[in-house]
Amino acid sequence: MLPAFGSSCLCEWKTADKPKRSIDRLYDYPLQLVAYCGAVNQYYQEYGIKLEHALLVVAIQGLRLKSFGLSQRG
């Protein structure tokens, strides 16, 4: 977890061979990240931890990192 979006944020790092220009091209990675957030929220609820944001960062050799932010919708 890291501080981002003004609160705690779960960050997942992935590698790829080709640029991912949109979140639609990330296959099931966003779903996996949401599942991680749900598990953290459930496991650590007695400590008052509630993740509402996640960051998916894709690394491609020789290119800049591409990040995709995910937030819980109210």
pLDDT tens across 5-48, in order? 567 889 999 999 998 888 888 889 999 999 999 999 999 999 98
Name the token pair of 6: 């003004």
What pTM did the predictor assign?
0.79
In which domain, by residue range, is 54 found?
2-71
pLDDT higher for 3 or 38? 38
Sequence-distant (6+) residues with CB within 8 A of 52 are 5, 7, 71, 72
Please state the domain count of the chain: 1
